[in-house]
Amino acid sequence: MKKSLLSLTFGGLGIGITEFVMMGLLPDIAKDLGVTIPEAGHLISAYALGVVIGAPLLVAIAGKYPPKQILIALMVMFTLFNSLSAFAPNFQILFITRLLSGLPHGAFFGVGSVVASRLAQKGKEAQAVSMMFAGLTIANIAGVPLGTYIGHHFSWRYSFAIVAFVGIITLVSLKSWLPTIPANKNSNLKKELSFFKGVNAWLIIGMIAIGTGGLFSWYSYIAPLMTKVSGFSEDSVTYVLILAGTGMFIGNLIGGKLADLFSPAKAAVFMLLTMVISLIIVHFVSTNPLLSLIMTFITGAIAFALTSPIQMLMINTAKGSEMLAAAVSQGSFNIGNALGAYFGGLPLVFHMDYSWPAMVGAVMALTGALFAGIFIRLNKHDTYPKVSSQGTTIKTPHPATTETRNNPC
């Protein structure tokens, strides 16, 4: 793997730890700061809100600067605000620092996706993007369990200190390894925003926000599913999460290869339909401990196999607005997080068991697949202009529904 891509992987690792470790630290933070666990849960919402706000806003502000400078500035923000979280004296200050910590999340992945695709060999753009998101999956395998363990046995503040340390490593690697890429001097915010006037943008946003919500409908309740339905002890949940994270890591790499081999759109619709089947199986086999473990691994793999195809689909479709569109897609993932957790919890209100959120997730994934199918249908015969070396304009198939190509920022 190129060192330049490794620097983006480090960034994904830090972001993954700070986003997901909070789920395991809620009891410790609630006890230390004198709030209830549901109140501490607002810290998760604060981070997600920061992602949704910061993703388009920061990219829009920084669009005319070189991508390397943008990524370094975003990681400075990330490291600073997570450091402040470690020293937050009360719940109110921690809420604010968590909100601010979320601001660079989507923008980093958005700009990083475009940078990774430009650094990749031709025909391997999605695989390059998957290397950045590999950091997110490694966080679920090692970073989050480690951060949760340290938070339980020492202090939750040390967990945020670890995140800040990873941020410093990322800053050093970005400065040392990431090549300088020229800024897009023709960047025009009004022109970039015009992409969102078209139906394609909203089909992809709907595909992400609703389709990936299927993952979060299942994953948000995986701990009680495994303990109350599958019969595992609470001490085993950490190992179950590591298993799911391992599946996510492998699935992420497979998704990148599928997107390059076929097309981002076709890979996305295939993985969403596969997720539907997987989540339905989860619902019916959850009472069997062995099958439940197997499906935890498989479902994690399928869910994260979606990441790179969907990100490349947005980049390929948003010609001239790649960084902004890729950042918005990350905000959409967090909307999916919130929608999945909410809709997945509805069966529990009616006293159904914890296998039912997976069924809700299957419906959401199927809806996402329908969005993807409509997108493919509408863009099946589309072409876009490409200027040859002689200056003449030629027509080539729409890159979102055929093989991927290097994408200018």
Last residue in a domain, options 134, 157, 178: 178
Which residues does 24 contact at the CB level (< 8 Å), separation at least 6? Answer: 144, 147, 148, 151, 152
pLDDT at 395: 44
Considering the domain architecture, whether residues 59 and 93 belong to the same structural domain is answered as yes
Domain shared by 87 and 114, yes or no: yes
Q: Are residues 253 and 194 in the same domain?
A: yes
> What would the pLDDT profile of 303-342 be if each residue is shown by its tens digit?
889 888 988 888 888 877 878 888 888 888 888 888 888 8
CATH number at 10 reads 1.20.1250.20
The pair phi, psi for residue 396, each rounded to 5°, is -135, 160
Same domain? For 194 and 260 the reply is: yes
The answer on 196 and 120 residing in a single domain is no
Specify the pLDDT at position 325: 84
Answer yes or no: do 136 and 44 share one domain. Answer: yes
Co-location of 169 and 27 in the same domain: yes
Q: Are residues 110 and 17 in the same domain?
A: yes
Contact between residue 378 and residue 198 where contact means Cβ atoms under 8 Å apart: no
Do residues 215 and 354 both lie within one domain?
A: yes
Q: What does pTM read for this prediction?
A: 0.78
* Residue 164 and residue 232 in one domain: no
pLDDT digits (tens, 9 = 90+) for 184-235: 666 666 777 888 888 998 999 999 999 988 988 898 888 888 888 999 887 7
User: Which residues of the chain are modeled with pLDDT < 70?
Assistant: 1, 184-189, 381-409
> % helix / strand / coil in the chain, to the nearest 5?
80, 0, 20
Which of 148, 178, 208 is at the close of a domain?
A: 178
378-405 in b/e form (b: 16+ CB < 10 A) is ebeeeeeeeeeeeeeeeeeebbbbbbbe
Domain extent, residue 56, equals 1-178
- Let me know whether 153 and 192 are in one domain: no
pLDDT attached to residue 323? 80
Mark whether 100 and 208 lie in a shared domain: no
HSE toward the beta carbon, residue 390, CA cutoff 13 A: 3
Within 8 A by CB and 6+ apart from 90, the residues are 33
Residue that terminates a domain, selected from 178, 210, 230: 178
Residue 284's CB is within 10 A of a number of other CB atoms, namely 13
Residue 232 backbone dihedrals phi, psi, to 5 degrees: -85, 155
Burial call 148-157: b when 16+ CB within 10 Å, e when fewer: bebbeeeebb
Please count the structural domains in the chain. 2
pLDDT of 90: 95
